Structure 1
Amino acid sequence: MCTTNDQIAASGSLLMNRKKKINSILKKRAKKANAKLHVSAKPRYISKDERARQEQQEAEQ
């Protein structure tokens, strides 16, 4: 069973691809976790219907 340089190079690139994939997955997870920590200062969206109901309730009171 002879191994050629092509087979060795191919196995080396597979290892690099595996490492790259694992690293990219871990980076994605870290990015998502970091994004959850930073809450947006933007107010929550209120639909027109919901605003109309709130105005109606305030007018009744």
Structure 2
Amino acid sequence: MLTDAQIATLCDIGQSIAFSDDRHGELFELIADGYVERDGDLFKLTAKGEAVVVDRGAGLNEA
């Protein structure tokens, strides 16, 4: 089960929002669990990560 902080991190990654270094521990857990992957120096959501964000009603790219 993901925490609210992990879901917030997924949303930030999905919206290409930078986040502070204190959240890197969460980030590496999300990578290990298959929600996020590295894309060069950046991070992006996997299909599994996108599904969580969509299921939580936090649609990406909403303006």
TM-score by length of 1: 0.26
> Which protein has the bigger helix share?
1
Higher relative contact order (CA 8 A, sep 6+): 2
Q: Which has the larger radius of gyration?
A: 1
> Which protein has the bigger strand share?
2
TM-score by length of 2: 0.25
